[in-house]
Structure 1
Amino acid sequence: MARRRITQDTFDAVVKENIEEFEMDADEALREAVEQFESQGVDLSCIVKVVPNILSDEKQEEQTHEVLQALDSLRVRNDSSSSTERDMMVNLKCFTQQCSLGFAQRYLAAQKDAYATILSCCKNSVEEREALLASLSALAALTDGQPDLLDPEGKDLLLLILNKYQTDDSVMCVGVRTVHHCCLKHEQNRQDLVKAGVLPLLTGALAQRSGCAELVKEACAALRVMTFDDDVRVPFGHAHEHAKMIVLEHNGLKVIIEAAKAHKDNISILSELCATLSRLAVRNEFCQDICDLGGLKFMMTLLADSFESQDLVRQVLSAIRAVAGNDDVKDAVVNAGGVQLIIIAMNRHMSNAHVCEQGCACLCVLALRKPNNCKVIMETGGALAAMQAMKAHPNDFNLQKQACMLLRNLVSRMRNFSQPILEMGAEALITQALQTHQDCGDVGRAALRDLGCQVELRELWTGKKGSLSN
């Protein structure tokens, strides 16, 4: 059921009433307004929960929020022939700072037509680097979480700027960040920008400007967003097609792997690169290409050297899981000592459900249709690590599901492993997962069945004809 919403003006009026009518101080008035609306089931996620400033003039007093003050100043400067570039940049930076405080500030600004004003600033400053950098930063901040703001004029301007400033790391960083914000959860923007030629600009930034760590990180994140299928408003997107284009037409795999080698000590960049690689491993031959280009060897080394970084370990495991979809790569991972590294990572970060989930998922993929790999996983303690993770995180559905699938894969072609796994307590853990997580039903019952346990399988359809009205 959708929660009720109110306007910013309504919220501000209640805060003002609390101050004037009930003589509350500002903090108390604000707190009282928040509690009042939340108790009524009102969604305040788009409301700026700050007492607005009071602007005084000769005629009246007016309340307004700082983000709107900055926006109004921008409009005045934009329309005034006497305003200087310095004045404009000061106001742009103030607006950007306000938008960076939270989504509510950005949403309020957008409701007051901030997009048209900021886009006008960008257009007017295309030839002036410093002014453009300030204007584009404001656009990037405004569109964060609001991709619907971008219109055809804005798309054309973004492409113009990215083409014009390909050798300027700072402008490219902000421009690529804007592309990222405008493509997240917006399929049409993705398709339009891809058709307009944004992909070679992004891969080109990785290849040609690989020395700039911030640009590498931004370009990688933008490329990854192009492979998302996260817009609930469309029945299906072009995520797979975009991934193929990045790999086949723009040499994306090699570019990303080379960029990773250039930033071996930067954990945040390596996490981004691994996350993007995992999104591009969408075909069997792409998985093999990553291995042939040295990507798998690099990931194995990275995992061995970075056990202390939970986020990096999680992203490396996710990438290994993706490329191991290829059966030959499965064997390469096992032969390179990948099973041991995965289990060490799980044991090192047993308190982190996300790391354990990815570790179970990796082992699950490696065990699929591979009896010899199952033997290595069992001998190295993979089943035990998975069950310890199940005990540590009983309420994490994704981990429980991956662990159940792993246990099933281990015994589906190696029945002799059933008894050792049962002796570790698998039946009780799987049964608990079934009771706690309804969506674990199919994988959990399948695991119990293949382990030789007594399980009640539901008959979803008998195949008998019957009336649809019954």
Structure 2
Amino acid sequence: MAKRMITQETFDAAVRENMEEFEMDPDEALKDAVEQFESQGVNLNCIIQAVPPVSSDGKQEPTHEVLKVLNSLCIVKDTASVQDVKADLKRFTELCSLELAQRYLAAQKDAYPVILSYCKKGMEEQEAVFTALSALAALTNGQPDLLNAEGQQFLLNILKKYKAESSVTRVALTTVRQCCLKHEQNRQDLVKAGILPLLTGAIKQHGESAQIVKEATAALKVMTFDDDIRVAFGQAHEHAKMIVLENSGLKVLIGAANAHLDNTSVLSELCATLSHLAVRNEFCQDICDLGGLKLIMTLLAEGFEKAELIRQVFSAIRAIAGNDDVKDAVVNAGGVQLIVIAMNRHMNNSAVCEQGCACLSVLALRKPENCIVIMENGGAMAAVQAMRTHTNSINVQKQACMLMRNLVGRLSNLSQPILDLGAEDLINQYLKTHQDCGDLGKAALRDLGCHVELRELWTGKHGSLTQ
């Protein structure tokens, strides 16, 4: 059931009432108000949970600091230059960067048109536009609905006008990424307006800047998301095709990765984005032909100590191995051995284990010869250990079951070695713990040759359903 919402004014009034009517001290009044609202099922994520400020004469002031700064910006917005209000814009940026509640309250009081007006006013001067744009980036973080057509055009103009200026470009890229996350309409509008070549162009022009490469890469990745629950059908696949076919996205990203081999954060983002672009069989092959597979194997061999990087490398392998020829290339390059080593190194990390099992599962699919390599290199043993270690992680359990199914699908003689590792008991435990997701576990037991109870929920006969 959806939680209730209240306004900041309601919350502040409750705190004041506790202080004035019940004579609580400020901290106690705040704590009591939070507990009371939470007990009533109120969502306080967008509420500034702080004691309302007190003026020098002891009277309560009606607004929080973020609104006082916003009010100062509103009063002079028609006459002041960005330089005149530079201090206020910086303070507004700092406050909005603290938490969602600060920027949500500002947005509720119409901060967006005010900040956008200063952005446009400072368009011709680099320092001014950087200051105003930073405020816009802070305000729109987590609030993509704020961006309108005027704001979209402003971001496009900024990326064109200041494409050689790294500081302005970086903040503009951050704003684009934030405004496209979980917002399909913003993505479609910006793509139609020409954002994709600006993103790949930023990577090429500022290839030496780790921050810009990471932000632009993340923005490209977000363009391929299908994460807006308000939209029935998105354009994720089309956007991925446009990035690859019209903007040489794969070549640009792989080139950028080779320039930042010592930066784990950048490499993780690049691998994640490549996995989102491998949406067609030929794209998977293109990644290999452009040196992407060699790069991925190098990262897997040299970066196996870094859990986050390994997780994203696994994700990339899982994506590109959808191509059968790439499957063989990964195995021939020693990929199975490296995947198992990395899984064993990070056995306590559920995300790494999940992606590792998924990688091996994809490599085993329709490839009996690969299944043998996986078994010989301890892949099944690693999967069983992952199930044993992460009994409460449904995703690890699912991927491990899928791997076992793919291993024995065309080589039934592999069933007994897997069962000898204790797979049956672990799968049965999974079925008891996660009863809502039992189909995959039962299918794994069936393919392994184990006894499994399969209930016929509906016989197809006329009348009521029978169990």
Answer whether TM exceeds 0.5 for this pair: yes
Deviations 1:125-172 (A, max 9, x none): 100111110111111111111111111111111111111111111111
- The amino acid across from 1:159 in the alignment is L
Q: CA deviation at 1:87?
A: 3.7
**2: CA distance, partners of 1:247 / 1:84:** 42
State the partner residue of 1:114: 111
State the partner residue of 2:71: 72
**2: CA distance, partners of 1:441 / 1:127:** 61
**2: CA distance, partners of 1:5 / 1:310:** 38
Q: CA deviation at 1:271?
A: 0.5
**2: CA distance, partners of 1:353 / 1:100:** 31
5 Å-filtered alignment, 1:236-315, equals 236-315=233-312
**2: CA distance, partners of 1:394 / 1:85:** 56
Q: How many residues align?
A: 465
**2: CA distance, partners of 1:440 / 1:376:** 29
State the partner residue of 1:150: 147
Contact 2:364 2:403 in 1 (8 A): yes
**2: CA distance, partners of 1:303 / 1:327:** 20
State the partner residue of 1:14: 14
**2: CA distance, partners of 1:141 / 1:15:** 28
State percent identity of aligned pairs.
Answer: 71
**1: CA distance, partners of 2:245 / 2:454:** 45
Contact 1:55 1:64 in 2 (8 A): no
5 Å-filtered alignment, 1:150-169, equals 150-169=147-166
Provide closer, same or farther for how the CA distance between residues 444 and 243 of structure 1 changes in structure 2, counting only shifts above 3 A. same
Contact 2:199 2:219 in 1 (8 A): yes
State the partner residue of 2:343: 346
Provide closer, same or farther for how the CA distance between residues 308 and 146 of structure 1 changes in structure 2, counting only shifts above 3 A. same
3-state SS of the aligned residue for 2:54? Answer: strand
State the partner residue of 1:27: 27
Pair 1:5 & 2:5 matched: yes
Contact 1:340 1:380 in 2 (8 A): yes
Q: CA deviation at 1:26?
A: 1.6
**2: CA distance, partners of 1:466 / 1:248:** 54
3-state SS of the aligned residue for 1:5? Answer: coil
State the partner residue of 2:314: 317
State the partner residue of 1:212: 209
Q: TM-score, normalised by structure 1?
A: 0.96
**2: CA distance, partners of 1:437 / 1:228:** 28
Unaligned runs of 5+ in 1: none
5 Å-filtered alignment, 1:87-98, equals 87-98=84-95
Deviations 1:4-32 (A, max 9, x none): 11110000001111112222222111111
State the partner residue of 2:448: 451
Contact 1:54 1:63 in 2 (8 A): no
Provide closer, same or farther for how the CA distance between residues 84 and 183 of structure 1 changes in structure 2, counting only shifts above 3 A. closer
3-state SS of the aligned residue for 2:449? Answer: coil
Q: CA deviation at 1:56?
A: 6.4
Q: CA deviation at 1:54?
A: 3.2
**2: CA distance, partners of 1:284 / 1:85:** 50
Q: CA deviation at 1:77?
A: 3.3
Contact 1:115 1:142 in 2 (8 A): yes
Unaligned runs of 5+ in 2: none
Deviations 1:362-387 (A, max 9, x none): 00000000001000100111101101
Pair 1:174 & 2:151 matched: no
